[in-house]
Amino acid sequence: MINNKISDYVNRAQLAINDWQCSGEIYYLEQAKAELAEAVLLADELAKKKPTFLQYSAETQGRFTSSFLYDTSEEALEGIRPDLNVGDLVIVYQQEESQWQPYIDMDDLIEKFISQADDEAGEAAEAWCDFISGNALAQARKELDEQLNDVLEAWLRKHKIDAGWYDRAGVEGTYRFCGDKFIRVGKAGDDAALVSKVP
């Protein structure tokens, strides 16, 4: 899963690289480097934030998806068993609690400010719009971005507002339902591994 804010930093770095390719100004490379450094710091911070707690879900290929999360892959297979036909392939997915949280995108916010100024004053606001979005305030905008998002994060924490959903973290395995048991299928030598039996 890619955090939206990390993605935003990476997108801004890509835009700065594009600007450098057009202008050749080193400032844009420095800006891209700073954006990528922020993305790396945030990714490290999120990785340390809380341990991954995996759950499992199962689905047949294109026909039926279990709407439940289970503590083990075996429980996920047993949960989907009543809906299976002999020979069905079942994929068991690892699920992890989403780390997503809303954030304030400064680029969007500045665009809204520019739109408000234009609505208010039209051409008379042009110099103000150029200044607030220009290179001279790049560092100040970054500072405001951090401060506003720190306030938002503290507010979310105070009110215990979490995403509350699970994201797919990977595939645990693929199994063929043989009527009384599940057989793991995959690379050669794996296909005879018995996973569960009806008691």
5-57 tens-digit pLDDT: 788 889 899 999 999 999 999 989 999 999 999 888 888 877 676 555 678 88
Nearest residue to 103 (alpha-carbon basis) of 5, 2, 10, 3: 5
Same domain (yes/no): 39, 68? no
- Chain segment 48-85, per-residue pLDDT in tens: 765 556 788 888 876 777 778 899 999 999 999 988 98
For all residues of the chain together, what is the average pLDDT?
Answer: 84
Q: Report the domain count for the chain.
A: 3
Same domain (yes/no): 110, 157? yes
**Is it the case that residue 131 has pLDDT exceeding 90?**
yes
90, exposed or middle or buried, with CB in 10 Å at 0-12, 13-18, 19+? buried
Same domain (yes/no): 154, 73? no
> What average pLDDT does range 153-173 have in this prediction?
88
Among 49, 70, 87, identify where a domain stops: 49
Same domain (yes/no): 106, 131? yes
pTM: 0.54
State the amino acid at position 30 in one-letter form.
Answer: E
Q: Are the C-beta atoms of 74 and 196 separated by less than 8 Å? A: yes
> Domain of 79?
54-99+164-197
